[in-house]
Amino acid sequence: MASKPIGFLSLLFSSLVLVIVVSPALADDVMVTVRAVTPIQQTDGNLVCATMDWWPKDKCNYGWCPWYNSSIINLDLNNTILYNAIDAFKNLRIRLGGSLQDQVIYGVGEHRKHCENFKSDPNGMFTFTSGCLTMRRWDELNTFFRETGAIITFGLNALKGRKKALDSTEYVGPWDSTNAHHFMRHTIAKGYKIDSWEFGNELCGGGVAAKVNATQYAQDLIKLKKIINRLYRRFSDQDKPKLLAPGGFFDMQWFIEMLQASGPNVVDVVTHHIYNLGPGNDNNLMSRILDPFYLSQVANTYKNVEYVVKNYGPWSTPWIGESGGAFNSGGKDVSNSFVDSFWYLDQLGMVSVYGHSVFCRQALIGGNYALLDPITYVPNPDYYSALLWSKLMGRRVLQTTNDGSPYFRSYTHCSKNGQGVTSLFINYSNSTSSDVSLVGDYNIYPPALYEEIGPREEYHLTPEGGNLKSRVMLLNGQPLKLTSDNQIPELTPLAVEDGTPLHIAPYSIAFIRYKNFNAPACA
């Protein structure tokens, strides 16, 4: 028997006791309630996504130059750790794109012979010249992606052919599709599989370094969709790449105009970017990551994007196309440390609740916010957070609430590739632990809740030495480090039998798989 009923009077009484009684051990009893009958959302099978960027090694912010040789053009694809890190996901979604995307030329056709890399230019957009992707490098990338099982989104240059308006960052005129068309045709001829093509990077609304009018952008989307349909006409609907847009910061009116002007079934996925922690050099970065009230503010953006898609583009679905938490390459010694998982995993949970299917983390490698160290390729703590999510959390999202303090977060999904459900618990308190009980709400009358007391698998995440800025994550007290032959370590849970209390320590994170939890939503 995996569950037992709990009467509402006893629940009410225990809640009153929690309010009145202060435990000398600084531990809260927290009841987590999971609505088990129907899912509230469904994510993509590969919610976890990581980006690869175009930045050269001389990309610097605040006197730091943390990109090294980690760009699409110069990343060492023969590195064993890189291969194993991607392969461990068994189908990691990777988005190729970023700030320099709209300055990239593809080395096909007339550009085949003169294909030069980015160079530093103080007068250039983002202080760089345009750069070129050679087809030899494109071959190498696709061989690597095929071998590791990666699912690829490629961001196209959407500024080609446009002219910069005088005294403005706006680019006007129609998109010149010639180079992109030749590149896509070459890609198909080589048999390279692209899951989706994205149009431009951060050109929507006020833009970042450049912007395009929503109506003009929509007309170009229609053109690109026709190119995709024509080039992939012999492909099944399932194998035909999706069209993603606009890949920038959310501006409600601009997004609405884009969807209305492009019309039904042009944009398959609405992508937007999130950098809700501020600049990478902000002295308050760490305190923001640990403040659940601050982290909750971005929920309004997720809700608004979900609203716009449902009401103006119901044929599409929203994705986070890029998010690194802190912009300008992330926070030194913060974005690559254990503490960042308090932001990252909370975002994965939150976007799932608000109808987003994919979350692309900036970056797989490069910058301070990299999942892999850009010099050694050794995984940072967020890599293991991403891998655990990918292995444990299924597509179906269950409504989850708790009666704990605002410093305790809870999210639940149907378990991936197995029975029951998996919950993510995040304890932002620096001093109070949480003793958690999980109950199922089956929407029956008269109302009743059923406590889950069956066996479970626990994955407790803490920093080495108790240092939140540690680059080493502990899983159930053991450091997660590469094996002697540079393999990703096994993520072994702690197996717990019936009835043992669940304890979530201060400043810790836990994935808990309830193996026998009866959730009709997961059937």
- Read off the CATH number of the domain in which 377 is found: 3.20.20.80
Domain shared by 389 and 501, yes or no: no
pLDDT, average across residues 82-105? 99
Domain shared by 134 and 124, yes or no: yes
Whether the per-residue pLDDT at 363 is higher than 60: the answer is yes
Beta bridge partners of 409: 426
Averaged confidence pLDDT in the chain: 95
Residues 6+ apart with CB under 8 A from 90: 149
Assign 29 a pLDDT band (cuts: 50, 70, 90): very high
Question: Do residues 14 and 383 make contact, with C-beta atoms less than 8 angstroms apart?
Answer: no
Assign 325 a pLDDT band (cuts: 50, 70, 90): very high
Final residue of a domain: which of 363, 397, 431?
Answer: 397
Whether the per-residue pLDDT at 8 is higher than 80: the answer is no
Q: What angle do CA 511, 514, 519 make, to 5 degrees?
A: 120
Domain shared by 403 and 393, yes or no: no
The number of folded domains in the chain is: 2
Question: Do residues 360 and 95 make contact, with C-beta atoms less than 8 angstroms apart?
Answer: yes
Whether the per-residue pLDDT at 17 is higher than 80: the answer is no
Domain shared by 483 and 516, yes or no: yes
Q: Is 216 exposed, middle or buried (0-12, 13-18, 19+ CB in 10 A)?
A: middle
Looking at residue 262, its pLDDT comes to: 99
Assign 258 a pLDDT band (cuts: 50, 70, 90): very high
Q: Look up 322 and say whether it is catalytic.
A: yes
Domain shared by 33 and 49, yes or no: no
Looking at residue 2, its pLDDT comes to: 43
Beta bridge partners of 454: none
Whether the per-residue pLDDT at 12 is higher than 70: the answer is no
Looking at residue 25, its pLDDT comes to: 58
Question: Do residues 400 and 410 make contact, with C-beta atoms less than 8 angstroms apart?
Answer: yes
Whether the per-residue pLDDT at 523 is higher than 60: the answer is yes
- Provide, rounded to the nearest whole percent, the portion of the chain with pLDDT above 90: 91
Question: Do residues 412 and 398 make contact, with C-beta atoms less than 8 angstroms apart?
Answer: yes
pLDDT, average across residues 453-467? 97
Nearest to 44 by CA among 232, 204, 196, 225: 196
pLDDT, average across residues 314-337? 99
Domain shared by 388 and 415, yes or no: no
Token match 């702690």: residue?
494
In tens, the pLDDT along 127-173 reads: 999 999 999 999 999 999 999 999 999 999 999 999 999 999 999 99
Whether the per-residue pLDDT at 6 is higher than 70: the answer is no
Whether the per-residue pLDDT at 366 is higher than 50: the answer is yes
Domain shared by 347 and 486, yes or no: no
Looking at residue 447, its pLDDT comes to: 79
Q: Look up 202 and say whether it is catalytic.
A: yes
Instruction: Kindly state the tokens that stand for 86.
Output: 């991607």
Output the DSSP codes for 137-167: HHHHHHHHHHHHT-EEEEEE-S-TT-EEPTT
- Read off the CATH number of the domain in which 506 is found: 2.60.40.1180
Whether the per-residue pLDDT at 377 is higher than 50: the answer is yes
- The backbone torsions φ and ψ at residue 380, rounded to the nearest 5 degrees and listed phi first, read -85, 165
Final residue of a domain: which of 397, 413, 433?
Answer: 397
Assign 15 a pLDDT band (cuts: 50, 70, 90): very low
How far is the CA of 23 from the CAs of 172, 303, 410, 425, 431, in angstroms? 64, 37, 22, 21, 12
Assign 13 a pLDDT band (cuts: 50, 70, 90): very low
Looking at residue 408, its pLDDT comes to: 99
Final residue of a domain: which of 397, 418, 436?
Answer: 397
Domain shared by 320 and 200, yes or no: yes
pLDDT, average across residues 393-420? 97
Looking at residue 4, its pLDDT comes to: 36
DSSP 8-state assignment for residue 128: B
Assign 367 a pLDDT band (cuts: 50, 70, 90): very high
In tens, the pLDDT along 268-308 reads: 999 999 999 999 999 999 999 999 999 999 999 999 999 99
| Of 170, 198, 322, 457, catalytic | 322
| Of 202, 257, 306, 457, catalytic | 202
Whether the per-residue pLDDT at 21 is higher than 80: the answer is no
Domain shared by 296 and 272, yes or no: yes
Which range of residues forms the domain containing residue 121? Answer: 42-397
How far is the CA of 440 from the CAs of 35, 371, 409, 423, 443, in angstroms? 6, 35, 17, 12, 9
Domain shared by 255 and 269, yes or no: yes
Distance of CA 478 to the CA centre of its chain: 26
Domain shared by 12 and 100, yes or no: no
Whether the per-residue pLDDT at 320 is higher than 90: the answer is yes
Looking at residue 103, its pLDDT comes to: 99
Looking at residue 446, its pLDDT comes to: 82
Looking at residue 453, its pLDDT comes to: 84
Domain shared by 375 and 467, yes or no: no
Instruction: Kindly state the tokens that stand for 189.
Output: 């001829």
